[in-house]
Structure 1
Amino acid sequence: MTQPSPKSISRRTASSFLALGAVGGAFSSRVFAQAGDYPSHPIELVVAYGAGGGTDVLARAFSDSARKHVSQPITVINKPGASGAIGLSDVLNAKPDGYKIAMLTVELTTLPHVGVIKFSHEDFAPIALLNADPAAITVKADAPWNTIEEFLAAAKKVPGEFRVGNSGAGSIWHLASAALEDKTGTKFNPIPYPGAGPAMLALMGGHIEAVSVSAAEVTAYVSSGKLKTLAVMADKRLKGYESVPTLKERNIDLSISAWRGLGAPKNTPPAILAVLKDIVVKTIAEPSYREIMDKQNMGFAFGDEAAFKAVMVRDNTYFKNLITKLNFKLG
């Protein structure tokens, strides 16, 4: 079973976003007038995972690049725990006034089906899709396995002993390793962490054998020679990882990606959402934003609110079916 990639919509939706941005001052003046004095104080952008992971990197890139396009700072707040449920719940329980928004992740379409959360993507108003990245299997640079075949063969000799770190129980990276187990007849010992960053630190410290987080999240450590990626769960090889094979090249039919984007509680006034969308349009065109994305090898996949909603609906169905097939329940 494979997951369709959100990147297929990136060029079309990015073009439409940039075209919207070209409307310029008239649009900006109109939406700001309708929203009154919003924003009159800092906006909190909640990241439901720890510092150092892909979601945190994306949020901070967006916050920094948005400075010249919003009158108040967008402050990144990390609220990790329960595979993202704590941070997302904090946003949903806040007043829907635009002053507390979330960096939504694909876990919104996984956690409801494993019994971790009672809410879903339908409880958020999508603002914009910002990113999509595939999972990868990464080990320490001095690990004895140099191919995914060697890694899986070694894991099969000691069923349930190879510790594979992820960004939380029921997270997309936990599901990625579970799907790999299913496809290859391997049994891992999944180890949850409050984000990809802590999982990578555990790997470098020798506490686990591998991580199943995205290739983008391990880029800095792979580049510095501390880690090595054995395979990516993508339809084709990734930029910056041209020498790393996909699982499909190794006859493992598996492709799983994560996406991230901005969202607000669903009752947020349309005029406030319009201001936030206007900020996004300008921010994604900033060279500094694109430079950070490129440096981190993060997938550039934009979508407006309609396209973002369509991705969430699609993946909700996909992961519901996958979780049912794997009998993957936590709560």
Structure 2
Amino acid sequence: MKKLIAIIMTITLLAAVLAGCSSKKEAGGDAKAQSVEFPTKSINMIVGYSAGGSTDIFARLVAKYLEDLWGQTVVVTNVNGGGGAIGFTQTLQNKPDGYTVTISNGASLTIGASGNVDFTYQDFDNLGRMIIEDEVLLVSKDSPYTSLQDLIEDAKTNPGKLKVGFAGLGGFTHLAAAKFINDTGMKVGNIGYGSGSEAVVGVMGDFVDFCMQQPGEFASQFEAGELKALAIMSDERHPSDALANIPTAKEQGVDFATYQWRGISAPKGLPEEVKTKWEEALTEIANNPEFQAEVEEILLARVDCITGDEFESWLDSEDAWISPLMKELGLTEEK
């Protein structure tokens, strides 16, 4: 009788073990079965600015290539307000599942550093920087300055004589201009405008002596001969024929480079496999010659893609000069 009971218990135990193995295989399976299927539905791409601007155009360009790559619809949603802050805030209200992303740019750093919002760029999974837009220093067609050194020397010799125009107090172009002014030791007055195009008009009308803007804000006026470009703030000259003759600051003995940029970010906490799929997709798009040609032609920008940890480290290096400069300029709200 005892032997019979022992046999029954052994059989029962084996059955339990086998059932456990079977259920583990079903629940976990091999690596292929465990992989996340992504994307399986449409993507919402939030743009924190109105339709028609450079950020919106960039978003719709990336969306087109993502749709071709993934076979899913990418819906571009414009949420204007707060210089991008409302769009970033709305993005963070969504689940970190990869189906809601936003267009990140210089404002991702400046808005967070201002202290006026309860988030920073570190509250996002920053997936990739896709393009850069060079800052160009502009003067009017009748300006007496013919080189960057001419402008710098006059501003040093006559403190407060010159005025710089910029778009948006505390915005990226303001900070880029302020950094240039600080680094070169210039002493100038400041006049803020509501947009980059308004700052360009201010230069053309001689209301300000110079400004720094991305090509998309001034290309037509420059081609029409209404503006002179003294320097492009890049390590190399612009690839487009229209801007190729603008010398870099470094060519003129001024060691300075900065640029606006645009990329893709998502609420922090994405599954690793989803992050990887996003990073691989952005890299593949960036390497597409057709995408590169459209970026240069439509946005007068250049593709310069970095993803993942490299992108995060680069953002840290940008924040390292932006946050202190904002405090120095009194643009940070103390909490």
TM range, smaller chain: 0.7 to 0.9
2:235/2:248 contact within 8 Å kept = yes
Distance change in 2, residues 1:53/1:209 (3 Å): farther
Correspondence list, 1:237-248, <5 A: 237-240=237-240, 241-248=243-250
- Separation in structure 1 between the aligned mates of residue 128 and residue 273 of structure 2, nearest angstrom: 15
**Aligned with 1:90: secondary structure?**
helix
List runs of 5+ in structure 1 lacking aligned partners. Answer: 1-29
What is the match of residue 47 of structure 2? 47
- Separation in structure 2 between the aligned mates of residue 294 and residue 300 of structure 1, nearest angstrom: 8
Correspondence list, 1:70-219, <5 A: 70-141=70-141, 145-148=145-148, 153=154, 159=160, 162=163, 164-166=165-167, 168-182=168-182, 183-193=184-194, 196=196, 199-200=199-200, 210-215=210-215, 217-219=217-219
What is the match of residue 25 of structure 2? none
Deviation string for 1:223-245 (max 9, x for gaps)? 35454322222234333434323
1:31/1:271 contact within 8 Å kept = no
What is the match of residue 283 of structure 1? 285
Distance change in 2, residues 1:320/1:286 (3 Å): same
- Separation in structure 1 between the aligned mates of residue 144 and residue 77 of structure 2, nearest angstrom: 39
Distance change in 2, residues 1:246/1:158 (3 Å): same
The one-letter code sitting in structure 1 at the alignment partner of 2:170 is G
- Separation in structure 1 between the aligned mates of residue 106 and residue 265 of structure 2, nearest angstrom: 12
Distance change in 2, residues 1:220/1:61 (3 Å): farther
Distance change in 2, residues 1:244/1:285 (3 Å): closer
Identity %: 23
**Aligned with 2:239: secondary structure?**
coil
- Separation in structure 1 between the aligned mates of residue 220 and residue 40 of structure 2, nearest angstrom: 35
What is the match of residue 256 of structure 2? 254
What is the match of residue 314 of structure 1? 317
1:155/1:161 contact within 8 Å kept = no
**Which structure would you say has the larger Rg?**
2
Distance change in 2, residues 1:82/1:251 (3 Å): farther
- Separation in structure 2 between the aligned mates of residue 307 and residue 298 of structure 1, nearest angstrom: 21
Q: TM-score, normalised by structure 2?
A: 0.73
1:156/1:186 contact within 8 Å kept = no
Distance change in 2, residues 1:292/1:198 (3 Å): farther
Deviation string for 1:188-245 (max 9, x for gaps)? 3242436x45655776688766442224653454335454322222234333434323
What is the match of residue 25 of structure 1? none
Q: Which residue, 277, 302, 327 being the options, matches 2:305?
A: 302
Shift of 1:172: 1.8
**Aligned with 2:218: secondary structure?**
helix
- Separation in structure 2 between the aligned mates of residue 95 and residue 48 of structure 1, nearest angstrom: 18
- Separation in structure 2 between the aligned mates of residue 46 and residue 144 of structure 1, nearest angstrom: 44
Distance change in 2, residues 1:32/1:234 (3 Å): farther
The one-letter code sitting in structure 2 at the alignment partner of 1:185 is M
- Separation in structure 2 between the aligned mates of residue 203 and residue 313 of structure 1, nearest angstrom: 33
**Aligned with 2:260: secondary structure?**
strand
**Aligned with 2:213: secondary structure?**
coil
- Separation in structure 2 between the aligned mates of residue 216 and residue 32 of structure 1, nearest angstrom: 45
- Separation in structure 2 between the aligned mates of residue 134 and residue 113 of structure 1, nearest angstrom: 22
2:41/2:73 contact within 8 Å kept = no
Distance change in 2, residues 1:230/1:123 (3 Å): same
The one-letter code sitting in structure 1 at the alignment partner of 2:247 is P
Deviation string for 1:23-47 (max 9, x for gaps)? xxxxxxx6996136x3423x23223
Deviation string for 1:82-123 (max 9, x for gaps)? 332222122112333333211111333333333343311211
**Aligned with 1:35: secondary structure?**
coil
The one-letter code sitting in structure 2 at the alignment partner of 1:191 is G
- Pairwise CA RMSD of aligned residues? 3.5
